[in-house]
Amino acid sequence: MATSQVETVNTGADKAKLAAAVALVIGAVAGFYLLGRQGQWAQWGALVLGLAAAFVVFMTSESGKEFAAFGRDSWKEVKKVVWPTRKETVQMTLYVIAFCAVMGLFLWLTDKTLEWVFYDLILGWKK
């Protein structure tokens, strides 16, 4: 039985980058709230700059590089998708609507039949 092991390399520098990115995010949020009296430009500037710096630091880490590679691979897969034509989309939508209508009618008839059987025939509760 073959087992696949996931091997992660966590160097001290990589852990320091991730810690710095987290610290930058916390600092950005703290700066946003602490600069409330300085005006909205200062608040939003501190937040955006702090988050941008955290993003740059994160992307230089091994986890960030893997995330970027995942994003590139995902985009390649999205490009391979064959989207339905407008005609196919309309047809499938109409099929779904028709199925829902038929199923609704079936469930309504089943409900009324069971109501008639239980209340009128078995229990004798005439409405």
Q: Would you say residue 9 has pLDDT above 90?
A: no
User: For the range 117-125, what are the long-range contacts, defined as Cβ-Cβ under 8 Å and sequence gap of 24 or more?
Assistant: none
Read off the pLDDT band of 8 (50, 70, 90): low
Query: Per the structure block, which two tokens stand in for 75?
Result: 């985009």
Q: Where are the alpha helices (DSSP H) in 6-125?
A: 12-34, 40-60, 62-80, 86-115
Structural domain spans, the chain: 12-81, 83-127
Give the C-alpha separation, 8 to 104, whole Å: 53
User: What's the rounded mean pLDDT across residues 81-92?
Assistant: 96
Give the C-alpha separation, 68 to 76, whole Å: 12
Give the C-alpha separation, 20 to 91, whole Å: 53
Read off the pLDDT band of 97 (50, 70, 90): very high
